Amino acid sequence: MIKLFSLKQQKKDGEVGGKSGSSQKRASAAQLRITKDINELNLPKTCQVEFTDPDDLLNFKLIICPDEGFYRNGRFVFSFKVGQGYPHEAPKVKCETQVYHPNIDLEGNVCLNILREDWKPVLTINAIIYGLQYLFLEPNPEDPLNKDAAEVLQSNRRLFEQNVMKSMRGGYVGSTYFERCLKT
């Protein structure tokens, strides 16, 4: 009985003193699930994942470099923040590369149904990556965040393509300046 109490007390003292080792920490459901998702990633050749902190699997970057479509040869970086509610809550995904796209606004918010109303716990990080990649292959003007880009895509496909190229080379589209995001 005393040994049990002393172990509990040691653990409590370690947590209070900030000495709690990672070997004592219990992995949360979100950490267990994200570890499984990452181990099972099957990335297309146009995508890569980067972890700035290899011990923090809940925050990472996805780089998409489309090899076809309007956004061919671009390099687009997305940040993923996986909350403790994962997999019951979708990760927060932001596009860090400013892009002229009907489904990504100028603040980096992404309009992808599985990140919102169609999220289900059975979906994985892999599903989100393929969904994001698909947005670059087939932009959807029917469900826009950037209404101007959506209108141009619907009314004048050639002008839309010119605007995408202008933005990816680094330049103005209307009054908005875009940083260069073409691969070198």
CA distance 177 to 117: 32
Please report, for residues 12, 46, 90, 103, the alpha-carbon distance to residue 77 in angstroms, rounded to integers and kept in the order given.
41, 12, 18, 15
- Cα–Cα distance for residue pair 181/101, rounded to 1 Å: 13
Query: Where does residue 170 fall: left (phi above 0), alpha (psi -120 to 50 degrees), or beta otherwise?
Result: left
Q: How far is CA 180 from CA 16, 120, 147, 149, in A?
A: 48, 35, 22, 18
Catalytic residue among 47, 65, 95, 111: 111
Residue pair 77/97 in contact (Cβ under 8 Å)? The answer is yes
Q: Is 90 helix (H, G, I), strand (E, B) or coil?
A: coil
Is residue 111 part of the annotated active site? The answer reads yes
The set of catalytic residues is: 111
